[in-house]
């Protein structure tokens, strides 16, 4: 699949780092370093604009290394970029650690996975068909 991209950053287009990668690294496009304080959230610009085909979304996901080593994650994870959005891709980062974190220009801040989605139509009913699980919710299957 080919996706149209406008890259107004000074960094390379998003790309897959390995043959088996599902996500493409997305980089910060900032004029100067940002210090993200503990529990602070910021919208980080990327300089990227994309046109996805109808029926696809781009999911923005945290980078596992940043999450594990520094407590940096995406506040709305996964974030969704809809096929009809044409604005700049921004990434909402949050620092869940107890130490400040420096974001540098060009730093890989998240990953993007392009995926198909299904549109649904609702069929109202008075009840649902029974299953083995039934209404069992959070934690009902044990540890």
Check whether 15 has a pLDDT greater than 90. yes
What's residue 135's pLDDT?
Answer: 82
So what's the pLDDT on residue 125? 96
Range of the domain at 61: 4-116
Each residue of 39-89: pLDDT tens digit? 999 999 999 999 999 999 999 999 999 999 999 999 999 999 999 999 999
**Alpha-helical runs (H) found in the chain:** 64-70
Residue 104 in any domain: the answer is yes
The predicted model gives 104-126 an average pLDDT of 97
Is the residue at 75 inside a domain? yes
Sheet bearing 79-81, strands edge to edge: 24-27, 108-116, 56-61, 79-81
Distance CA 107, CA 27 (A): 5
Residue 13 lies in a domain: yes
132 domain-assigned: no
Mean pLDDT within 109-132 = 95
């Amino acid at each position: 699949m080919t996706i149209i991209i406008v890259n107004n950053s000074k960094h390379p287009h998003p790309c897959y780092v390995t043959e088996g990668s599902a996500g493409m690294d997305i980089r910060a496009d900032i004029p100067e370093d940002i210090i993200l304080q503990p529990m602070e959230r910021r919208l980080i610009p990327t300089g990227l604009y994309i046109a996805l085909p109808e029926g696809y979304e781009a999911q923005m996901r945290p980078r596992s290394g940043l999450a594990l080593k520094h407590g940096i994650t995406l506040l709305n994870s996964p974030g969704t970029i809809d096929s009809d959005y044409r604005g700049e891709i921004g990434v909402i980062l949050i620092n869940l650690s107890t130490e400040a974190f420096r974001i540098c220009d060009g730093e890989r801040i998240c990953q993007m996975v392009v995926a198909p989605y299904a549109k649904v139509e609702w069929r109202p009913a008075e009840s649902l068909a029974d299953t083995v699980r039934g209404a069992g919710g959070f934690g009902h299957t044990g540890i």
